[in-house]
Amino acid sequence: MRILVLSQYWWPENGVPQRRWSWLTSILIKQGHEVYVIAPPPREKKSTSVGVFHRHVSLTIADPEVGPSGEYIYRCGYLATNSSLTYRALNQAFVALSTVMVGVRLCRDGRFPKPELLVGTVPALPTALATRLLAKLLQVRYVIDLRDAWPDLVDYSALWNQGVGKMSRRERVLRRGPVQLVSRYVKKMLPAIYKRSSAMILTSDYLRESLLEQMRAGDRLEQPRFVTIRNVFPAQVDARGARTEARTPGELNVLYAGTLGRAQQLSNAVEAVRIAREKGYEVNLRLVGAGATSRALRAQVRATDLPIKIYGKANPETLSGHYAWADTALVHLTDWEPLKAAVPSKTFELMRMGIHISGSVAGEAADLIESLEAGDVVPPQDPLALANLWCELIDDRSRLSISAKARSWIDQEESVETPRKVRALIQSIKDQH
């Protein structure tokens, strides 16, 4: 089958979306499918020069790049952006429009045969619309790969900037009307796009059940096939048995390595360290990563004398050193109802490495950590509960040793279950014709 993937991110970038789809692409190609991709250039190549901007706005289509799995990558247009939600939304909308135009031109010009299946990767919401539109123009079936609980997260737009610091004047203006209009539009549009898809690939069973419930309550449109494919892609860091440094009695080294973003609200972890210290326990916290709340977190830490260090985004080699330092690793999400359907990818990476997880999460992430005996869980946004957990781990270090159950489950999901699910999904779409 000829498959065309529409994405806002692709190799050689190595974030979660890129690594997820590099892995899934390799599975598809090993199973005999042809994979084409339309995506913008990697961020390090995105220049704001007039020449580059004009070339991409005019949608000049270069020869395809060949990706690591043998996929053919066509680059589309983009807009220069930053961490602002406004600029990111504008860029995502432009990229989505560009993917449609590039897809139409490639098929019209005979650059490659018309695809038999489109795959749109979301949470970049405009990508869902672009996938539906291009599928209609080309008269082909499409699949949505949904990695977040959209459109439910739209209901929490008023809280998105918690932890970021003072909102800009632009953001304050936009929240007084435009955001509400977009929210209503998204909530009405996305379910229709989902229902008309041939299938949906989801990252959690919680998300699958939520969507099924919503669709049962809707009209009689054909329900798509749902398949859960978790982010159990190969890890960037091979750090099995990573703990190499001698543990200091009476202290606990806690590592958070990931996005310092709106959905994480890591100020909760800072407060937990303060509470633990007031109780007479030494908890050392490292935050490794980047994101929208980085500046506010640094300001919060600077205003204290707590043993907390914030590092920038680290490469795999540097991360290995952080893992060697850690007694436990923090998986952390804020207390938003839709996030109960989210499982941070770092959860699976930590399970693979056998590092104890301190989970400040609810829903499926909490269920997986507990059922697979990968660590301990407390409610999100409860700094006292998190502090108490860390104090308990200092008092009873045997709890830092976890079973091999989680690692075995990860290996099975990656090497056996996911290829089986991909094969079955493609066959089900073929059978729909």
pLDDT (tens digit per residue) in 291-340: 888 989 999 999 999 999 999 888 888 899 999 999 999 999 998 888 89
pLDDT given at position 164 = 57
Residue 101 scores a pLDDT above 80: yes
What lies within 8 Å, CB to CB, of 325 at 6+ separation is: 245, 253, 255, 286
List of long-range contacts for 414-422, beta carbons under 8 Å, 24+ apart: 414/232, 414/233, 414/234, 418/24, 418/27, 418/229, 418/232, 419/27, 419/30, 419/31, 421/227, 421/228, 421/229, 422/24, 422/27, 422/28, 422/31, 422/229
Q: Which two tokens stand for residue 101?
A: 């135009």
Whether omega for the bond prior to residue 12 falls within 30 degrees of 0, making it cis, is yes
**The predicted structure's pLDDT at residue 59:** 52
Q: At what angle do helices 364-371 and 345-353 cross, to 10 degrees?
A: 10
Domains of the chain: 2-234+412-432 (3.40.50.2000), 251-406 (3.40.50.2000)
pLDDT reading at 183 higher than 80: no
* Whether pLDDT at 30 is above 60: yes
Cis peptide before 151 (omega within 30 of 0): yes
Q: What is the mean pLDDT of the chain?
A: 85
Q: Which segment of 21-25, 237-241, 255-259 scores lowest on mean pLDDT?
A: 237-241
Instruction: Tell me if residue 29 falls in helix, strand or coil.
Output: helix
Residue 191 scores a pLDDT above 70: yes
pLDDT of residue 200: 93
b vs e for 334-351, b when ≥16 Cβ sit within 10 Å of the residue's Cβ? Answer: bbbebbbbbbbbbbbbbb
**pLDDT at res. 293:** 87
How many CB atoms are located within 10 Å of the residue 204 CB?
25
Q: For position 309, what pLDDT does the model report?
A: 96
Whole-angstrom Cα distance, residue 100 to residue 176? Answer: 31
Q: pLDDT band for 14, please (50, 70, 90 cuts).
A: confident
Over the stretch 381-410, which tens digit does the pLDDT of each residue have?
999 999 999 999 999 999 999 989 999 999
Query: What's residue 186's pLDDT?
Result: 64
CB atoms under 10 Å from CB of 104, counted, come to: 14
Confidence of residue 134 (pLDDT cuts 50, 70, 90): very high
For the chain, the 3-state helix, strand and coil shares in percent, each to the nearest 5, are 50, 15, 35
How remote is the C-alpha of 392 from its chain's centroid? Answer: 31
pLDDT above 70: residue 261: yes
Collapse the DSSP code of 15 into the 3-class scheme (helix H, G, I; strand E, B; otherwise coil) and give the result: coil
In the structure encoding, which two tokens stand for residue 333, read together?
């999400």
The position carrying tokens 């539109």 is: 133
**Of the candidates 110, 142, 115, the residue with the CA atom closest to the CA atom of residue 37:** 115
Predicted pLDDT at 161: 55
Hunting for tokens 């998986």 — which residue is that?
A: 331
- At position 107, the amino acid (one-letter code) is C
Q: What is the mean pLDDT of residues 343-355?
A: 94
Quick check: 31 and 423 in contact, CB under 8 A? yes
Residue 83 confidence (pLDDT): 57
Q: List the alpha helices (DSSP H) in 58-84.
A: none
Check residue 133 and give left, alpha or beta (phi > 0: left; psi -120 to 50: alpha): alpha
| Model pTM score | 0.86
Q: Encoding tokens for residue 246?
A: 């001698």
- For helices 405-412 and 345-353, what crossing angle results, to 10°? 120
Cα separation of 80 and 90, whole Å?
Answer: 10
Q: Is the model's pLDDT at 49 over the cut of 90?
A: no
Q: Which two tokens stand for residue 344?
A: 């941070």
Straight-line distance from the first to the last Cα atom of the chain, in angstroms, rounded to the nearest whole number? 13
Residues 325, 329: Cα–Cα separation, whole Å:
10
Beta bridge partners of 254: 285, 328
Reduce the secondary structure of 159-182 to three states and give it as a string: HCCCCCCCCCHHHHHHCCCHHHHH
